[in-house]
Amino acid sequence: TVSMLWRFEISDPCYDKYSHMTNSSETLNLDSEVKSRLRGRRLFIIGFTSPLGQSIASQALVAGAQVFAVSRSVPAVFKVSNYCMEIQMDLNVNGSLRKLGLVCGDLVICAAPIRVLARAVTGVEFPSNVCIAAVSSASAITKVNSPFPRDAQLSQELLTAEAVVTTAFEGNARILRPTMIYGSGRDNNVAQIVRILTRFHVFPLVGGGVGLRAPVHVDDLAQVAVAAVAANPISNPIHVPGGERL
């Protein structure tokens, strides 16, 4: 389990500039071993236009990786740098990952929903030593015995998708299970609370506020994803909660 510290500032400028990117020391520090393994490697980031994809790209570029931004569309506002190559691809098409033309030693990080990724890898045979870090959700285990049918179904779908991706990459898959992700200003949980507090200065505690959450910052999750895809074979899955229960 990788535990990250809770980081939150209501005045954080990222809530106003959703497409912010960093290419300097503002990027979270990756250790020298991770950087050496990324330097010069081809890294495909699926779901590039998401906040997580943007953060991953920023950190990977600083580490010296050759980054390919993969998305259904890449608007100009999301362009990272001239060193980031863009590939348009629809993951909803079965076997669509074949379009990437992956070769031995390539790295892939998927910030898109893992259930969509499972469809994209269907029927595709990948070269050996192609490693992927795929973002699932802690709901895969926290909702497995939920009394609510919809939550239990979500858990089963996530577990099935994880198995499909793991099998497709023959053990070279790292499955990340983050908790609630915040920090981009585009999420529908913490950012929504910020908007309500900013406008009304109060927030209702539904049901007394007894439910516990451990939100993880999007940049922290990106750092874990980059480190995981560059690491030697490690135990799966990787649980990535925030560092504080709220």
pLDDT tens digits, 146-173: 999 999 999 999 999 999 999 999 889 9
Distance CA 209, CA 124 (A): 46
Distances in Å between the Cα of 103 and the Cα atoms of 10, 43, 150, 161, 205 are 44, 11, 39, 23, 51
Instruction: Look at residue 22 and tell me whether its pLDDT is greater than 80.
Output: no
φ/ψ of residue 239, rounded to 5:
-85, 130
Distance CA 105, CA 118 (A): 21
Q: Is pLDDT larger for residue 161 or for residue 209?
A: 161
Distance CA 42, CA 108 (A): 8
Distance CA 9, CA 141 (A): 30
Instruction: Look at residue 76 and tell me whether its pLDDT is greater than 80.
Output: no
Distance CA 75, CA 59 (A): 20
Beta carbons of 176 and 141 less than 8 angstroms apart: no
Distance CA 45, CA 104 (A): 17
pLDDT digits (tens, 9 = 90+) for 93-128: 888 999 899 999 999 999 999 999 999 999 999 998
Residue type, 50: S
Around 48, how many Cα atoms within 13 Å sit in the side-chain half-sphere? 29
Residue 29 binned pLDDT confidence (cut-offs 50, 70, 90): low
Tokens of 4: 């990250």
Global pTM?
Answer: 0.82
Given the structure tokens 């290419």, which residue do they identify? Answer: 23
Residue 12 binned pLDDT confidence (cut-offs 50, 70, 90): very low
Give the number of other Cβ atoms within 10 Å of residue 188's Cβ. Answer: 8
Whether the CA torsion 81, 84, 90, 91 is positive or negative: it is negative
Residue 31 binned pLDDT confidence (cut-offs 50, 70, 90): confident
